[in-house]
Structure 1
């Protein structure tokens, strides 16, 4: 992991200021002489900047996105736990960690941080910009901002605007965190019990009825307590709690809620219609959090977009799991010129 430490104030969309912004990031491979081999990947909610770690099967030394053919960049997002300025960082004004006094930020702020890093790395063109979930929100927002030249977009499992449904899921998770009184005690482990409960809520939106029926079904028909599904929820809560903090989680879900591609722009349809980039939009019909109708809407309104329906029972998490199919679909998209929707739908 590398870090860029800025001496300039970073002014957020709401007018608040972060002094001495730090950006954590990973790069893989080398940029070529033409500077046209940049792949920028935007990570999902609780991931980090090490794309080879959290997206194996798609990113890696021998994968579609590898460090021999591409110069790959992944930045840890503003507010995250993994090296970029976040609620556990020291507030220069007080000399103490921010905790719940961290300034609220938006997807647009996250994208502006990416742009700062791109400028620092002297990147003026991104050949492929890819992201799923909150990463997909960043991909769309960065493209709409028109601050950097982008060759192709790959947008997975997100929407053009946060829906009431996704906001309700996020608010429920924040309520769980806030119900833990330690969240207000201002220490690194504050809100940990609430964070574990929030993760359990989130899992219900990441998967679905069929996923749990397949993976958590009881084999002992006599069991009356401590079910597999129960232990799985507790395990996943503990797992996140061992590597993340409640304050970052709270603020990042707020950032997700802020996503509105046409805010302060004329309209959603016009904003999408002005994205003049060859775009692959991938949705999963079993996704409860971001229903595939939201990805279909994006694809139908970007002039040079094609849509692929990923057939998987794993819901929202499919983009992290079905990497064999994604490799085939994305690889085909990148190889072909003026690909037609009907051709793309035959893949996989």
Structure 2
């Protein structure tokens, strides 16, 4: 059996695809897996690092307004569809699974042209253009959000890496904090802004660093690979650890009592799967999906949410610090977050994909 996975651009598209790939291999060691992406996305680094074959096709962003660039889309899209079809032919694909992003549109259309079954997974409550198109071409549509706007969709959760869903935060906490040079007996805040980082979150956290430290809180802060801090907290106790990127997010989650982060679908799925409370700062642009993701967790008692425009050092001190200083409240929020998590979406989706392909 040969499965082609199409999803690229951000970690939110790529990581669920790779989690599905791992689950497919777990169920059937003989399955052939090929990932399709573009040269502009994170897939060029993440997919080979996980040991999977990556084929590149041209990226064709679809303009969201009528502009002169719209006239170039048909020709570029035709070229991308031909490139995706060539990949499907070469690997003799039995099924295509799409997760959205620029590469998904030509992949869906190429699979339809070849008569290959299509499976769509949409992690967000509001689907993007590519997955809206894909859902029109198939009966097999799965979502990571319970209330989806997509017809025919079935809620299954978002596929996550095994090291995330199998994480026992309580038993791994001391080891994880030592891994990052943190003390084992301090309340710990994890700060990150998704795979690329978030400048507003970085600035607010760094601005609150002195007060957090004075209150006995240590911080593990992931800036993002392209971000440089405006200033660094001076060395001291408790620790304020600044890192550009972390490959072992499972250890970062285990080290933390609470996370300050964006509200992307992957982030929300991972935090609820491991039972880590979050202070969510949804992206201030887009279609509002990050706020919807976060508000579901807040309503369930597993976090709090603040607009990007309202995030500041004072907001962190007034809203996040009291939680970190109250272990009982952290425990209650952790349990609430974990009740919203799904840990079996990778295996469930893998079984569906194999069934559809057969």
Q: Which has the higher helix share?
A: 2
Tell whether the structures are fold-level matches, with TM greater than 0.5: no
How high is the TM-score relative to the length of structure 1?
Answer: 0.32
How high is the TM-score relative to the length of structure 2?
Answer: 0.31
